[in-house]
Amino acid sequence: MSEHTWIAILDYGSQYSQLIARRIREMHVYSELVKYNISAKDLAARKPAGIILSGGPASVLEENAPLCDPAIYDLGIPVLGICYGMQMTGQLLGGAVRKGKAREYGLARVTVVDSDPLFAGLPGELDVWMSHGDQVDTMPAGFAVAARTGTCPVAAMVCRSRRIYGLQFHPEVVHTPHGTEILKRFVFSVCTCRADWEMTRFIEESVAKIRATVGSGQVICGLSGGVDSSIVAALIHRAIGKQLHCIFVDNGLLRSGEAAQVEETFGKAFGMDLRTVHAGPLFLDGLKGVTDPEKKRKIIGRIFIEVFAEEARKLGEVNFLAQGTLYPDVIESFSPLGGPSVTIKSHHNVGGLPKDLKFKLIEPIRELFKDEVRELGRKLGLPDRIVNRQPFPGPGLAVRVLGEVTPERVALLQQADLRVQEEMEKLENYHTIWQSFAVLLPVQSVGVMGDGRTYENVAALRIVESQDGMTADWARIPYEVLAALSNRIINEVAGINRVVYDISSKPPATIEWE
């Protein structure tokens, strides 16, 4: 990464911090979120071309407000403060911040007073997205107003001699139509970055790094068939070939034909050392009589670790464990509002292994966002059915079979789910759907088929749109598609006589039912 020009983003807990990084990467410039209190010395050592101070929920007027190292402003590196980042800049450099007379939240219109350099070539008035209660009241020495609103006299400020800028609004959100253009002017005109963040280059650098790290060692990868673990396996295999050993645990709770698909893609097409453990009976036996969702998850997790560990021991001495940690998981560990540690995803990342299995971690996609991971997968030659695969729960269909999980009920859901996938993939806007699946409910209903009365199972359809899975809304699927889904499931899947559609959003509901 150090060979690239790059932008450092100091994260103060804004809900939009990751979005800043994504916007800049879309310009083919590498950007990375770093700890908000990183020292100026440590930051300078990494030689960023520019520094962005993100927004955040805190107030600089609070006693324990998160602040940057003031020496950052003296590094001679361009700085852009956004919202909280602008207020912090104003205060740390000798200006004054006060509570605004009126809190601005939502769309606002700014008048550009000084267009050079951030607003060069843009209209004199711009629609922007505001989200603040505090505002810069008195600018530090050497600063000039660049934009204002009716209630915010300093909506943007600039100190050209020191190349320090501040925006009270959020340029990174879609609600600021010219926001990307403003960021581009900072990244290219002010910071003179090169647009050299390309996925082909990422692959070349990652392959070289993996080879240098592994040497003649051996790597083990828990392959689930999901996007992250599949792409990690493909990338590492390109680097070290037969030194990679993939373990695929078929827990009997996968979608119809999924196990065979994984074996075909990775074992045959890619020629990987793929070790499949068909452990379905073991998992289903452990789930007998269990209806509590949390107990299901714990049982499946425990058995998975036992099966994975047993297979790993058969390989003898293995030095490294590959995991599909993504950049949002890493960010969570250091944001002021984030969790204390990196998230470990069940069945993608393998946590809780026995003490005798001591591996060094390899996390080759920890710098990437999900959309970048999918792009990487396409560059590596993975088929679309894997690259564009929707998120699938680690415990598999066990959390979509509500109530007790039995072989018969799993088989029933697999057939219903197969129809859902086949019909949904016909949609032109299928790529906008976050998840689409069937849930087998623990209730039966009366129906009529032919001249006979039936008393069979009910399936619920869950189809949602989302950007990141944190929030979601039910998809407004055309009625004819819903009709086709219902007809196919009821007519082709013996044992289901009623289909319902879940129109709950997240929150308050969750995407999965369990």
CA neighbours within 13 Å on the CB side: how many for 370?
A: 15
Catalytic residue among 4, 132, 170, 237: 170
Report the 10 Å Cβ neighbour count for 367: 17
Q: Which helix (H) or strand (E) covers residue 109, if one does?
A: strand 96-112
Round to whole Å and give the CA distance between 418 and 414.
6
Catalytic residue among 104, 172, 311, 514: 172
CA distances from 69 to 66, 134, 166, 461, 505 (A): 10, 21, 17, 51, 41
Does residue 480 have an active-site annotation? Answer: no
SS (H, E, C) 184-242: HHHHHHHCCCCCCCCHHHHHHHHHHHHHHHHCCCCEEEECCCCHHHHHHHHHHHHHHHH
CA neighbours within 13 Å on the CB side: how many for 436?
A: 24
Does residue 278 have an active-site annotation? Answer: no
Return the structure tokens found at 481: 């598609």
Longest dimension (CA), the chain: 87
CB 230 within 8 A of CB 375: no
Amino acid at 314: K
Nearest to 262 by CA among 382, 344, 373, 364: 382
Does residue 83 have an active-site annotation? Answer: yes
Catalytic residue among 83, 191, 221, 246: 83
Amino acid at 185: R
> Is 60 strand, coil or helix?
coil
Return the structure tokens found at 209: 């790094």
Q: Which helix (H) or strand (E) covers residue 456, if one does?
A: strand 452-465
Please provide the distance, in angstroms rounded to a whole number, between the alpha carbons at the two ends of the chain.
40
Nearest to 67 by CA among 88, 40, 43: 88
Amino acid at 290: V
Catalytic positions, written as ranges: 83, 170, 172
